[in-house]
Every structure is written in C-alpha cells, then in structure tokens.
Amino acid sequence: MSSRERKLLNELSRRDLLVFNPIEASNILDESRENTYRILNRMESKDLIHRIEKGKYISTEKLEETHIYHIASNIVTPSYISLWSALHHYGFTTQVPRTVYVMVSNSKESISLQNQDIRFVKTSHFFGYTSEKKLVIAEPEKLFIDCLLYPKYAGGIQEIKNSIIEAAIDGEKIVDYALKVDKKSLCSRLGYLLQKTDKNFDEERLKENISKSPIPLDPSRSGGTKDNRWNVIDNLRWKKC
C-alpha cells in the first residue's frame, strides 16, 4: 500500500466517511481530479476500495464490516431506509426482505451490492427520519406512513397490518405525519388500521381528513365489508386481532 493510499484510508476513517466520492478523495489527497481517479483505480484493483456505482466508493474493510442498511442510506444524500427494510430493522416483522428499500427525493435506478438489490423509492414526503450511528432510517411513525403509500414495497397491506400490531407508535406523531402528507385515502386506511389494532391516537382529528368515497383497505384485493366510520372497505383477514 502506497503512502497516498494509506493517507486516504486513514483520513476517511478519521472523518467517518463511510461512502465517498472522487471530489472528497481529491480534497483529502490534495491531488488533481485526474491523478485522484488514477489512484482510485489502482486502489480498486488492489481490492482496497470497492466502487458501489459511478462516483461512489467505500473501503473494502468498511464494506465487509458494515451492515448493508448503513451503506445504502449513505449512497444518496438525503436518503433514508424505510418500507420493508425498516419493518425488519425495528423487529416489526419476522420476514427478511431480499431488497433494501431507500427513500430518495429524486428518481434513481436500483443497484446491487453484497448480493442484494438496493431499490431507491422516490417520495415527495421527505421528513420523519432519524440517524443512528450512520444509519439513516424512518421513524416508526413515518415508516407506517411510507408503507401505506407504497404497500407493494412493504410486503402488502396484510404485512403492514401485522407490523402495526407489533409496533409501539406515538399516536399524536403519526396523525401529525399523516395530515402533513395530506392524502385522504392514507388517512382512511391509517385510521382504520390503528383503530382495529387498538392503538391510541386522535381519531377525530384524523377522521376530519378521510376519503369522501369508499376505498379498499388493500388496493390489490376485491370484495370486503364497508366500515362507515373510516369509509374503508375491509378486505383483509384479521387472524391476529
């Protein structure tokens, strides 16, 4: 390992930079962009660093010792882990998703890392996340909002319902987040699920913003029984309640 290669790795560690780009490497090495790319290419060939995608690198040591959720939430800034991945992280589900789900503000194609797919899901509702030792992840309350907005990336409504049963939820915060999203179908589905799973929340405040026309609880299923309070057609099987 050359002195410049060692300098880069040491400084990345000192600055706690998990994922880095050529500009950051150039600044650390005080080298031109062209020379920096040559150094990075040599380091990659020596298996000192790994190229996650064009312009994004991680040291091989960090790649091997860091959970993929931590890496995935640092590839794009800003971004955060959510949906089925976050359900698994918090222990709300025993299912282990094969795909890592990352919320981003701009469209981005999926990539593969450590034999897992990382799917970037674009959202315009970019709030309600927290950082835990380099892991940027949805708060539980925002997680369930995301899940109801993108149920196919969370195992479906049945899996979301089962996860809500297992979760400790701040009833005031989840209503605040739902109203911030300002989507009536979301408020209907969320209110119905929270009520059916015996969660404490401000029902009346949420009910003021529900859908005017009946909506299926699970959009992928037909049939069901209408609940007049939330204007939801319940087409799930409630085995755990």
Tokens of 155: 């195992």
Sheet holding 135-138, edge to edge: 111-113, 116-122, 99-104, 79-81, 135-138, 129-132
Tokens for 148, please give them.
Answer: 């109801």
Count of domains in the chain?
Answer: 2
Query: Which pLDDT tens digit goes with each residue over 140-190?
Result: 999 999 999 999 999 999 999 999 999 999 999 999 999 999 999 999 999
CB 39 within 8 Å of CB 29: yes
Mean pLDDT over 124-139 rounds to: 95
Q: What are phi and psi of 130, to 5 degrees?
A: -140, 165
Q: Sign of the C-alpha dihedral, residues 24, 8, 53, 42? A: positive
- Please, what is the average pLDDT of the chain? 95
DSSP per residue, 3-45: HHHHHHHHHHHHTT-SSB-HHHHHHHHT--HHHHHHHHHHHHH
State what percent of residues in the chain have pLDDT above 90: 91
* pLDDT of 240 above 50: no
Taking the C-alpha atoms of residue 56 and residue 76, their distance in angstroms, rounded to an integer, is: 9
Same domain, 155 and 55: no
pLDDT at 145: 98
In a shared domain, residues 215 and 169: yes
**238 pLDDT tier (thresholds 50, 70, 90):** low
For residues 56 and 80, membership in a common domain is answered with no
The answer to the question of residue 241 being in a domain is: no
Q: Which domain holds residue 179?
A: 68-234
144 with 197, same domain? yes
In Å, how far are 58, 186, 240 from 32, measured between CA atoms? 20, 51, 61
pLDDT of the residue at 241: 40
Geometric angle at alpha carbon 96, from 95 and 100, rounded to 5° = 130
Of 65, 83, 114, the position where a domain reaches its end is 65
The DSSP string of 53-117 is: ETTEEEEHHHHHHS-HHHHHTTTSSSEEE-HHHHHHHTTS-S---SEEEEEESS----EEETTEE
The pLDDT tens digits for 45-74 are 999 999 999 999 999 999 999 999 999 999
Residue labelled with tokens 């701009």: 106
Query: Of the residues 33, 65, 97, which one is the last residue of a structural domain?
Result: 65
The structure tokens 């993108």 sit at 150
* Percent residues over pLDDT 70 in the chain: 98
Q: If you average pLDDT over residues 33-39, what whole number do you get?
A: 95
DSSP assignment string, 130-175? EEETTEEEE-HHHHHHHHHHSGGGTT-HHHHHHHHHH----HHHHH
Instruction: Examine residue 239 and state whether it is found in any structural domain, yes or no.
Output: no
Q: Is 227 helix (H, G, I), strand (E, B) or coil?
A: strand
Whichever domain contains 32, its CATH number is 1.10.10.10
Question: What tokens does 238 get?
Answer: 């409630």
Which sign does the torsion angle of CA 173, 176, 178, 184 carry? Answer: positive
pLDDT at 239: 55
Q: What is the pLDDT of residue 133?
A: 86
Q: What is the pTM of this model?
A: 0.93
